Amino acid sequence: MYKDLDTSLRTIMTPGPVEVDPRVLRAMCTPILGQFDPQFTGIMNETMEMLRKLFQTENHWAFPIDGTSRAGIEAVLASIIEPGDVVLVPIYGRFGHLLVEISQRYGAKVVTLETEWGTVFPPQTVIEKIREVRPKIVAMVHGETSTACMQPLKEIGAASREVGALFVVDAVATIGGTPVKVDEWMIDAAIGGTQKCLSVPSGMAPITFNSRVEEVLLRRKRVERGLAERVTSAEWDDGVIRTNYFDLSQLMDYWGPARLNHHTEATSMLYALREGLRLVLEEGLEARFKRHLRHEAALMAGLEAMGLSLYGERVNKLTPVTAVSIPAGIDGEAVRAMLLNDFDIEIASSFGPLKGKIWRIGTMGYSGRQKNVLHVLGALEAVLLRFGAKVNAGKAVQAALDVYHDK
């Protein structure tokens, strides 16, 4: 009645989830180990070590949350926000709003700063606000996939530290594709995504945090797990982290030498993440970032040669995602459908004010391959011609090839 999985082999050129590296797929096939098997705890430790390199940090704590990217964001915010805390969120796209929403749900007084979609903040604007508001937490998105913009963070980290604020960065879209220098930029907690530049399936969220965050966690009252004496207290306690699953203080005891039972680690996803990290470290961070720049350059050259307009400020463009304006008179969704049905290519639309106005094309991780970039350019040109759009026929693939051939 239910058949064997029989899916099309798509070329996935979205801001994620993107194509999974075949080595990662194979790693997931490995028969599992128990969570307290010494071989498995060894794999957990090794993964922490590799994550530190990915995040370019000396932090002790670097481990995945067993959930999708926003689970990592919620784990960090839920564990450090106490009701009434002031959280400053500079917003330049859809995922800034997510930081606001999560912070509010945990009782924060959120102060926002907004800039037009397609732009980022001059660091000085954010710095002045930090000095004015003196928040407990500054939470910010590094790469906004909704607008394909990337916020420079370094000076903001320094300003946050200056006023004693914790600097929390959503690096979901950037980790593994463009530099995320946790220590150098004075980021106190960072959250990465697996299904984007790491080319690992969605389902885990690597995070790292430093001793400043750890101090907050340990200062907050810890709920002892399953102790009968707590049962008699029905009082709400503001100091308690309001979630069990995302309580980073419990997760430290699970990932640390105590190995206190919390959840059951998601074995096969951990194998996937470990293999994805191994691929990153084998390629080398710098080489990987260069590769992302190269495919971005080829894609942009192709799109412009075709006669399309890129969306957003070029100077702060998010490397692994390119936003392009949908030509006037063209139905963006019809183009996407034809790309999917006739060419097995997926590109993305966008959110909110940009819905129907731009397409977003990713060149992330394993999806960032010359073959894919040339295929998407050729296909987009063909579909646009089919829909009667004015494009410079025959130019796009040539322009991309020029980039690849260093001409």
Q: How many residues bind to a second copy according to rule CB under 8 A?
A: 98
Shorter beta-carbon distance to a second copy: residue 87 or 403: 87
Can residue 85 be called a binding residue for a second copy (CB under 8 A)?
Answer: no
Shorter beta-carbon distance to a second copy: residue 355 or 390: 355
Which residue matches tokens 């097995």? 344
Shorter beta-carbon distance to a second copy: residue 211 or 264: 264
Shorter beta-carbon distance to a second copy: residue 102 or 305: 102
Binding mask 316-355 for a second copy (x = CB under 8 A): ------------------------x-----x----xx---
Tell me how far, at minimum, the Cβ of 8 lies from a second copy, in Å.
Answer: 6
- Residue from 225, 355, 386, 390 touching a second copy (CB under 8 A): that is 225
Q: Kindly write down the DSSP assignment for every residue of 317-333, as one continuous string.
A: B-TTEEEEEPPTT--HH
Strand residues in 98-215 grouped as ranges (E): 109-114, 137-141, 143-144, 149-150, 166-171, 189-192, 205-209
Which residue matches tokens 């929403």? 101
Rounded CA-CA distance 309/392 in Å is: 13
Question: Among residue numbers 368 through 407, which ones bind a second copy (CB under 8 A)?
Answer: none
Alpha helices per DSSP H over 237-361: 248-255, 267-283, 285-306, 332-343
Q: Is 360 annotated as a binding residue?
A: yes
- Residue from 143, 201, 206, 320 touching a second copy (CB under 8 A): that is 201
The answer to whether 54 and 280 have CB atoms below 8 angstroms apart is yes
Can residue 367 be called a binding residue for a second copy (CB under 8 A)?
Answer: no
Tell me how far, at minimum, the Cβ of 332 lies from a second copy, in Å.
Answer: 14
* CA distances, 309 to each of 56, 70, 129, 325, 385 (Å): 35, 31, 33, 6, 16
Shorter beta-carbon distance to a second copy: residue 84 or 256: 84
What one-letter code names the amino acid at 53?
A: K
Can residue 271 be called a binding residue for a second copy (CB under 8 A)?
Answer: yes
